Amino acid sequence: MNLREEKGYSYGVFSFPQFYSRSGYWTASGGVQTNKTKESIAEFVKELKNFAGEKSVTEAELDYARNTRVRGYAQQFESLGRIAGQVAQLWADELPVSELQRETEELSKTSREAVNAAAKKYAAPAGTTLLLVGDVSKIEPAVKELGFGDVLLLDVEGKPVDK
């Protein structure tokens, strides 16, 4: 929300966890103004580091996230296709259909301490990869100034490009 509401660099930036029965991943994405790419990357990295333990999740942040997730939960069942997708995902993960009800129940019981402990354990700033899409001539110099690592250019097929 910092990039949209406080800084005005984007119309929306989102993050989503993807859970599997034995693993998962977390992505954050959003379109930003080309001339604010550097600042936006710095903000993404700062938020990840905060989440990983530099700054604990507050009770207000947890309440907001919990309420947003619980209130939006019904959207997963708006059509027959989405219901089938939910059931198919449970089947693929070898989980019972009762998990559909359990998710919101467990969210309401999750403590701030448990959220912060999980974030500290699983958020991995050092293992993060940033994928930027845009005009390389406009964004690469600013990105390199951040010093977060090597810049690797990829073609539309995702293959490395020599400069």
As a whole number of angstroms, the distance between CA 120 and CA 109 comes to 19
pLDDT at 27: 87
Q: Within a 10 A sphere around the Cβ of 41, how many other Cβ atoms?
A: 18
Q: Where are the domains of the chain?
A: 2-146
31 backbone dihedrals φ, ψ, rounded to 5°: -85, 135
- pLDDT at position 81 over 90: yes
**What is the CA angle 6-7-13, rounded to 5?**
85
DSSP 41-93: HHHHHHHHHIIIIISPPPHHHHHHHHHHHHHHGGGGGSSHHHHHHHHHHHHHT
- pLDDT at position 21 over 80: no
- Check: CB of residue 57 under 8 Å from CB of residue 116: yes
For the entire predicted model, the pTM comes to 0.76
Give CATH superfamily name and number for 2-146.
Answer: Metalloenzyme, LuxS/M16 peptidase-like (3.30.830.10)
pLDDT at 17: 81
Q: Compute the average pLDDT of residues 57-62.
A: 93
Average pLDDT, the chain: 88
Per-residue pLDDT of 94-137, as tens digits, reads 889 998 888 889 888 999 999 999 989 888 888 888 899 999 99
